[in-house]
């Protein structure tokens, strides 16, 4: 769920949060309209500063790396057991991997829109097919997803000792729109309106409040989705609308 995310450079120059404005241009490039989490690359996140009275934008490694992964050479085995680009909001405190970060290392993940597959079996087909969709907020050039982050240092023999910020997107149960799009796993990223996004960054929240925020469902009425080409990963504009004659429209 939410393994593809994006920021449209043409729409975005500054981030406003906490009544402050920060320059985002130096953190994003034209190829960030579509970022594949399974490439394990960097993506911009917002981290709080000075007890959340300020914030910074940083590029971080999209894959939450815990302390027990000690070196780059261990990542292959780790990835066979775990996929940590996402973390379930309702399970944050059930996981020794995520609980500490949920309490003290919360961040926001920026987005202009994300990508998900809808499953549908056309008439006469032997099995269901997957149709990619682009999901966005029509009234916002960008929005905030809840995230958790963890510092990680490669301790391998040839490691540089550089501290790396790593993160996961927090997810929640699908709202009525996303239940139609992501209709197999019924999940969606935890999108937070600005007031709740600011709360998410605050220190000292109770576990109960953190879980409430982590499982917040953004209103379906304020979201939109449409089908895109199955080859969207190869296109110059992966967000371009594509119509499938056999696919019923979303309600």
Q: Angle between the 207-214 and 194-201 helix axes, to the nearest 10 degrees?
A: 140
What is the pTM for the complete model shown? 0.96
- Measured between alpha carbons, how far is 189 from 209 in angstroms, rounded to an integer? 18
Question: Which helix or strand (DSSP H or E) is residue 179 part of?
Answer: helix 176-181
What is residue 201's three-state secondary structure? helix
Closest CA to 22 of 54, 51, 50: 54
* 238 Cβ contact list (under 8 Å, min separation 6): 6, 33, 34, 115, 134, 228, 229, 232
- Measured between alpha carbons, how far is 220 from 51 in angstroms, rounded to an integer? 32
Closest CA to 149 of 236, 58, 227, 221: 58
Strand partners, 4: 36, 115
pLDDT one digit per residue (tens) for the chain, 251 residues: 689 999 987 667 889 999 899 998 888 887 899 999 999 999 999 999 999 999 999 999 999 999 999 999 999 999 999 999 999 999 999 999 999 999 999 999 999 999 999 999 999 899 999 999 999 999 999 999 999 999 999 998 777 888 999 999 999 999 999 999 999 999 999 999 999 999 999 999 999 999 999 999 999 999 999 999 999 999 999 999 999 999 999 98
CATH architecture of 4-114+141-221: Alpha-Beta Complex (3.90)
Per-domain residue ranges of the chain = 4-114+141-221
What is the number of alpha carbons within 13 Å of residue 186 lying toward its C-beta? 4
């Amino acid at each position: 769920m939410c393994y593809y995310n994006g920021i449209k450079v043409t729409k975005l120059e500054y981030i406003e949060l906490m009544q402050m404005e920060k320059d985002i241009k130096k953190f994003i490039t034209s190829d960030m309209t579509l970022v594949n989490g399974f490439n394990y690359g960097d993506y911009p996140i917002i981290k709080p500063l000075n007890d959340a009275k300020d914030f910074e934008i940083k590029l971080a490694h999209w894959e939450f790396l815990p302390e027990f992964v000690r070196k780059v050479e261990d990542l292959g085995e780790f990835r066979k057991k775990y996929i940590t680009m996402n973390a379930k909001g309702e399970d944050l405190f059930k996981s020794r991997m995520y609980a500490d970060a949920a309490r003290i290392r919360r961040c926001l993940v920026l987005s202009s829109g994300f990508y998900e597959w809808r499953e549908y079996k056309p008439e006469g087909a032997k099995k269901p097919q997957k149709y990619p969709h682009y999901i966005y907020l029509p009234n916002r050039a960008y929005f905030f997803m809840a995230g958790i982050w963890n510092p990680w240092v490669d301790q391998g023999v040839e490691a540089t000792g550089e501290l790396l910020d790593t993160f996961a997107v927090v997810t929640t149960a699908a709202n009525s729109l996303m239940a139609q799009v992501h209709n197999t796993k019924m999940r969606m990223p935890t999108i937070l309106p600005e007031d709740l996004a600011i709360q998410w960054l605050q220190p000292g929240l109770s576990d109960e409040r953190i879980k409430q925020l982590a499982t917040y469902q953004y209103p379906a009425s304020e979201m939109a989705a449409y089908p895109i080409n199955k080859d969207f990963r190869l296109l110059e504009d992966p967000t371009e609308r594509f119509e499938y004659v056999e696919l019923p429209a979303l309600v």
